[in-house]
Amino acid sequence: MRNINNIIFDYGNVIFQIDFMRAKQAFQALGIQDADSFFSHKEQHALFDKLDTGKISAAEFYEGIRGFSGGRELSDEQIRDAWNALLIGVPKGNHEVLLEMKSKYRTFLLSNNNEIHYRFLMDYLKKDYGIADNSGFFEKDYYSHLMGMRKPNREIFEFVINKQNLVPEETLFIDDSPQHLQTAKELGLQTVLSTSADSFQELIKGLKL
C-alpha cells in the first residue's frame, strides 16, 4: 500500500468472525421462509437497517421479527438467540495485530452494529478477553447504531473523515463487503477486501504495513 497514515477497520469478518449461514438457519427455524433475501451478507430487510441505525429499539425489532415469521408466540430470548447465532468470536492473535497497527498508524473501527449485537460483543470481550470494550485497540471506535447512520452510505464515511481530519488518499479501509468498499473508493480511500477474520493476520502480513 502507498502512503498510508491511517487505517479504518470493519469489525465483522475482518476482526471478529461471523457466519451468515448460521443466521440463515436460525431465522428459518423461527419460521421465516425466504431467509436469504430477508438477511444475508449482500442484502437485508429494512428492519435490520433501522436496527443498525438506532431508529428502532431491540423490543421493536423483536416485534418486527414476530410479524415476519408469523410466530406471535416467539419470545424475545428466542429471537435474540437467533439473531446472535452468526456471532462467533475474535480469533487468537487478532487483537495483538491491532495493537501493532495502532503503534504505527492512526487506526479506527467503523462497524455496522446494533443494540443487540453490541451488548453480546461487550459481554463476550469481558468474558473471553477480560476487557471492557474495543476502545483500547483504536484511536476511536465507531458503531452505526450509536451514530444514526450505516455503511455503505457516504455520510458515515464523510463523518469519520471530517471528524478525524483524515486525508482519504492516505487512508486504508478494510472491509468484507464489496458495496462498502465501493463507497470508500468513490471518496478516495484505498481499500482492501477481507474474506474472513481467520485470515486477518495473514492479510495484514501480506499488505506489508
Q: Does residue 37 have a pLDDT over 70?
A: no
Taking 70 as the threshold, does the pLDDT of residue 40 lie above it?
no
Q: Give the residue numbers annotated as catalytic, written as ranges.
A: 10
Tell me the residue ranges of DSSP E strands in 43-181. Answer: 87-89, 106-111, 140-143, 171-175
Q: What is the pLDDT of residue 91?
A: 97
What stretches of 85-161 adopt beta strand conformation (E)?
A: 87-89, 106-111, 140-143
Q: How far is CA 11 from CA 27, 117, 197, in A?
A: 22, 12, 9
User: How far is Cα 4 from Cα 167, in angstroms, rounded to an integer?
Assistant: 10
What is the set of domains in the chain, with CATH numbers?
A: 6-16+90-207 (3.40.50.1000), 20-87 (1.10.150.240)
pLDDT at 127 over 60: yes
Residue of 78, 138, 74, 84 whose CA lies nearest to 113:
84
Percent of the chain residues past pLDDT 70, beyond the cut: 95
Lookup: cell for 18 = 461471523
Residue 42, pLDDT score? 59
pTM of the model: 0.94
> What does the alpha-carbon distance between residue 194 and residue 199 come to, in Å, rounded to a whole number?
8
158: amino acid identity, one letter? E
